[in-house]
């Protein structure tokens, strides 16, 4: 399967290879006037983060200094500098503490939020479960879940997000718990929505709001529900005889716990299950929701993807071997992630030591923000950036510089689930094209993207679904 970072080879480096002249220590790149404290900039960002960052990039360039007392934040939108930061300077960076404080309320100390040696140990232990081969081994189970779900989808107005959230939750629940959680799917989706809406606001607060505030009720109800869902799965497994455990992520984590309870307490098992369960379905549901819209709004691309699927699969369900054999479908997924990256702004990083980037000498404690979406919508790398053109990712296409398209991030902290989710999205996409045709509802306007941790349509997306004749498969 093609992954994003591997696909985007440099045609021309975004920055020239020649080192830029070194700026004097203590100087900062240009940026908007901060006023007395710079907190006005923060207010601007909390209203429309991507709009504010886009305006400052246009005014000041690819390294923008935001002075918001007491912080110095640098917004980086040059693909080469982003790679230099996340790959070369990886060891001098940690995730932004405020982001961690928000995420750890639900994720505990999982690989998503851990730092230093604790992160390295977790990543090293988990990684083998997420490589291309074990991810591809899950394709038959994914196809089984998709076929079950799609059997219930009917011609007519179709609530896209609800259907896809249930399906992607089902897929990840099978991988983590070997369990069917269909009965709880809609309550879990609502819980996660409430927690995400709260989290999105909390990034701009200096602390987590106290739980007794009436405005916090939905968030805490949601957190309690998700906690109980994961903890019930663990408790049920522990009641089973060990030789009756299915081979899934929970069993592998519990084996680590049995071998070394100090390094892997049950709390750590719970944290990793929670992160995989949440990161594993929400991003996939968001991306597939946008893919459905892109297919509906671009009938020629939909037809070309269907023709490829019909020719390759001849009506059967996709197998692991087919995942790499559907290049046009893969290109439609990449182009969807370019236009609508599930994580439009990478978790901000803080420098733990001084570092030099683009000729500027940044002191320890500088914050760096990487708005992936701005780079992916940059006309320098993607001409007519708002147009849906899967051909950008086709063989022989003029490629954008490395780092200009990175919906999964880059460097050692690149998305752990990228191979798994590419396989999953290819399976769902192919099976969808085999069975249904998608069109926008009459008179429908393009959905408005909003950021609620992941990028989602502002109003729940509904499209027109038409079941295809069997002969079309």
- Residue 284 or 400: the one with the smaller Cβ distance to ligand HEM is 284
Select 414 or 444, whichever has its Cβ closest to ligand HEM: 414
The smaller minimum CB distance to ligand HEM, of residues 32 and 286, is found at 286
CB 406, min distance to ligand HEM, A: 8
Q: How far apart are CA 293 and CA 158, in angstroms?
A: 12
Binding footprint of ligand HEM on the chain (CB under 6 A): 111-112, 123, 275-276, 279-280, 283-284, 287, 342-343, 346-347, 407-409, 413-417, 420-421
H helical segments located in 2-78: 4-7, 39-47, 49-60
How far apart, in whole angstroms, are the C-alpha atoms of residue 21 and residue 19? 6
Distance CA 406, CA 397 (A): 17
Please list, in sequence order, all residues whose beta carbon lies within 8 angstroms of the beta carbon of residue 95, skipping any fewer than 6 positions away: 113, 115, 347, 348, 349, 350
- Please, which residue, 331 or 420, has the CB nearer to ligand HEM? 420
Nearer to ligand HEM, 146 or 421 (CB): 421
- The least distance separating ligand HEM from the CB of residue 311, rounded to whole angstroms, comes to 26
| Phi, psi for 67 (deg, rounded to 5) | -95, 105
**Measured from the CB of residue 40, what is the shortest distance to ligand HEM in angstroms?**
28
Secondary structure letter of residue 179 according to DSSP: -
Q: Which two three-digit tokens encode residue 135?
A: 């991810």
Return the DSSP state at 87: I
How far the first Cα of the chain sits from its last, in Å, is 23
What the block records as the tokens of 340 is 């609508």
Task: Give min distance, CB of 349 to ligand HEM, in A.
Answer: 8
**CB of residue 23 vs ligand HEM: minimum separation in angstroms?**
26
What residues have CB less than 8 Å from 213, skipping those under 6 apart? Answer: none
Closer by beta carbon to ligand HEM, 80 or else 437: 80
Please report how close the Cβ of residue 239 comes to ligand HEM at its closest, in angstroms: 26
Of all residues in the shown chain, the one whose CB is closest to ligand HEM is 417
């Amino acid at each position: 399967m093609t992954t994003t970072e591997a696909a985007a080879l440099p045609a021309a480096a975004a920055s020239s290879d020649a080192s830029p002249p070194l700026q004097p220590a203590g100087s900062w790149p240009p940026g908007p006037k901060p006023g007395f404290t710079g907190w006005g900039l923060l207010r601007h960002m909390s209203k429309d983060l991507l709009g504010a960052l886009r305006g400052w990039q246009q005014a000041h360039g690819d390294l923008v200094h935001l002075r918001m007392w007491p912080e110095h934040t640098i917004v980086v939108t040059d693909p080469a500098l982003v790679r230099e930061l996340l790959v070369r300077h990886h060891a001098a960076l940690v995730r932004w503490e405020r982001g961690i404080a928000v995420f750890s309320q639900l994720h505990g100390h999982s690989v998503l939020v851990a730092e230093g040696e604790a992160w390295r140990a977790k990543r090293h232990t988990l990684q083998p479960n997420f490589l291309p081969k074990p991810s591809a081994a899950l394709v038959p189970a994914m196809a089984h879940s998709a076929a079950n779900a799609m059997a219930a989808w009917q011609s007519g107005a179709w609530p896209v997000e609800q259907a896809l959230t249930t399906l992607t939750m089902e897929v990840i629940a099978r991988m983590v718990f070997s369990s069917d959680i269909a009965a709880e799917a809609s309550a879990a989706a609502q819980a996660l929505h409430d927690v995400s809406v709260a989290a999105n606001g909390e990034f701009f607060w200096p602390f987590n709001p106290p739980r007794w505030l009436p405005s916090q009720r939905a968030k805490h109800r949601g957190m309690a529900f998700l906690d109980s869902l994961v903890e019930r799965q663990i408790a049920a497994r522990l009641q089973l005889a060990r030789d009756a455990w299915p081979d899934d992520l929970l069993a592998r984590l519990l084996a680590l716990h049995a071998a070394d309870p100090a390094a892997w307490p049950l709390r750590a098992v719970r944290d990793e299950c929670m992160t995989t369960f949440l990161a594993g379905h929400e991003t996939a549901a968001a991306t597939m929701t946008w893919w459905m819209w892109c297919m509906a709004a671009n009938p020629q691309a939909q037809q070309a993807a269907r023709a490829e699927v019909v020719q390759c699969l001849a009506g059967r369900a996709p197998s692991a071997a087919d995942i790499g054999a559907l290049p046009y479908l893969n290109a439609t997924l990449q182009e969807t992630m370019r236009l609508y990256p599930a994580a439009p702004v990478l978790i901000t990083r803080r420098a733990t030591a001084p570092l030099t980037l683009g000729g500027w000498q940044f002191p320890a404690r500088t914050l760096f923000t990487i708005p992936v979406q701005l780079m992916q919508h940059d006309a320098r790398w993607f001409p007519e950036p708002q147009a849906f053109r899967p051909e950008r990712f086709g063989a022989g296409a003029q490629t954008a510089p490395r780092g200009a398209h990175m919906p999964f991030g880059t460097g050692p902290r690149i998305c752990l689930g990228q191979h798994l989710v590419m396989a999953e999205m290819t399976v769902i996409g192919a099976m969808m094209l085999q069975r249904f045709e998608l069109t926008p509802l009459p008179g429908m306007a393009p959905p408005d993207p909003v950021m609620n941790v992941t990028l989602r349509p502002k109003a729940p997306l509904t499209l027109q679904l038409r079941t295809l004749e069997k002969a079309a498969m």
